[in-house]
Amino acid sequence: MRTKIQDVYGYKQRGEKFAMVTAYDYTSAQFVDRAGLPLILVGDSLGTVVQGHDTTIPVTIEDIIYHARMVVRGSQQAMVVADMPFMTYRDPAQGLETAARLFRDGRVQAVKLEGGGRMVPVVEAIVEHGIPVMGHLGYTPQSVHQFGKQIVRGKTPAQARGLLQDAHRLEEAGAFALVLECVPGPLAAIITAQVGIPTIGIGSGPDCDGQVQVWHDLLGLYHDFVPRHAKQYAQLGEAIETALKQYATEVREQVFPTERHASSLPDDMLRMLIQEVNPPRSA
């Protein structure tokens, strides 16, 4: 049985930290489920780590639905949350339609959207129709062209007060959890203590109720760039590269494949086929 909203609330009530990770396909979702993580995010981060874009802006709702369906098929235990892509929730009506498509066609259990107080009407409209919403405050990648490369949010008194106010407003609108991205640790701790819903940090210190990381960062698939907020728990990028080089070498040197990597034929059938292909010439 999948993680429920009540289970997520329970983590905060018990003071039990929990982990969330992005996943984008069937296989990665299976790994997450076997590892016992309670939440999976089908993030629009797929735009950068899967599709190769510079930002998340080009990601479409069709992209999210495509990947979400794979993740849902690959998992049985984790709650699957899907990002609402850029410009798909400009007003309550559009936001509800986007959330409904992700819920119905993507088969996810919740949706996530970026933004503060101005998103309250959108959140309310979605929640009123029975679709759980996760908020996202702090650094919001979909706003990269508005705020540029300034990652950390909440370093000024005005920004800090604004984030705290936005957290309260999203909670009141019905959001069941909040992602806090690149918020100063002490401020994230204050927000976490002030709101009744779980906070999920990424680059926001250890005091959030949970943490979320991007699959590729967590597993070391990129050795040329590691975000400051990430920790590599494996070096799979190097392992994959080594394996591919060994495979290519063994093919080139005729080490692989061997007879045991293929099926065989009974001797009598093989002789018959050879005779059919190369029939004896008549005198």
- Average pLDDT score over residue span 189-214: 98
Return the SS3 of 39: strand
- Sequence-distant (6+) residues with CB within 8 A of 88 are 61, 94, 95, 98
What percent of the chain has a predicted confidence (pLDDT) above 70? 97
Would you place residue 144 in the very low, low, confident or very high pLDDT band (cuts 50, 70, 90)? low
Report yes or no: 41 and 81 within 8 Å, Cβ to Cβ. Answer: yes
- pLDDT exceeds cutoff 90 at 222: no
- pLDDT exceeds cutoff 80 at 147: no
pLDDT in the model for residue 225: 75
- Average pLDDT score over residue span 31-39: 99
**Nearest CA-CA partner of 198 in 171, 159, 162:** 171
Q: What is the mean pLDDT of the chain?
A: 95
Whole-number Cα distances in Å, 79 to 124, 125, 227? 21, 21, 26
- pLDDT tens-digit map of 243-261: 999 999 999 999 999 999 9
Supply the residues annotated as catalytic.
Answer: 181
Report yes or no: 135 and 84 within 8 Å, Cβ to Cβ. Answer: no
- pLDDT tens-digit map of 157-182: 999 999 999 999 999 999 999 999 99
Identify the H or E element spanning 134: strand 133-138
Residue ranges of domains in the chain: 5-218
Alpha-carbon span 17 to 9, nearest angstrom: 11
- pLDDT exceeds cutoff 70 at 149: no
**Nearest CA-CA partner of 127 in 140, 143, 137, 112:** 112
pLDDT in the model for residue 237: 95
pLDDT in the model for residue 283: 59
> Was domain 5-218 assigned CATH 3.40.50.720?
no
- Average pLDDT score over residue span 5-32: 99
